[in-house]
Structure 1
Amino acid sequence: MYYQLYRDSQGYWRWRLKAGNGQIVSDSGEGYVNKADCLAGISLNKGSSNAPIYES
């Protein structure tokens, strides 16, 4: 898996987490004005791997 960092059509930074076969597993859901903020969003996503899972 890998993260893809890109700019959308409005110029906002976004990220996608892609599987090895190119399928999108997750995405940012919001656009970031600053590239550094987008990279921080990726770090938050990476850091949440130990978060519990709750079913509702």
Structure 2
Amino acid sequence: MGKFVISTRKNGEFQFSLKAGNGQEILGSEGYTTKAACLNGVESVKKNSQDDARFDRLESKNGKYYFNLKATNGQIIGTSEMYESTASRDNGIASVAKNAPDAETYDQTA
């Protein structure tokens, strides 16, 4: 079962990562100035991960594949790691869709 982990960056901003049951990060967030905004980002991932149209499937300049998850307003709420193939990237998308809705949130900033 997946989990969201909230942590702080060196600059004091909050961030979350969605981790699969094996502990591997499958989606990482931008930096947020407040914990409340970060928690809103987690809720947005839970909701938007269930709509395949919210995933942008992309290729980087170095030929690796990744995806962004976008909110209804078009803002990026999470970015994946880099994958070697489109099939691996698509498996990552499926993993976010499967793990995000019921994932528990662990706050490592408290």
TM range (shorter): 0.7 to 0.9
Structure 1 gap ranges (5+) = none
Percent of residue pairs bearing the same amino acid type: 35
Please tell me whether residue 11 in structure 1 is matched to residue 12 in structure 2: yes
TM-score, normalised to structure 1, is: 0.85
Q: Over alpha carbons, which structure has the higher Rg?
A: 2
Q: Aligned residue pairs: how many?
A: 55
Q: Which has the higher contact order (CA 8 A, sep 6+)?
A: 2
Structure 2 residue runs of 5 or longer lacking an equivalent are 59-110
The structure 1 segments of at least 4 consecutive aligned residues displaced by more than 6 Å after TM superposition are none
The one-character-per-residue Cα deviations of 1:4-55 (angstroms, maximum 9, x if unpaired) are 0000111100000001211001011x10010000000000000013213476
Question: How much is the aligned-residue C-alpha RMSD, in angstroms?
Answer: 1.8
SS at match of 2:7: strand
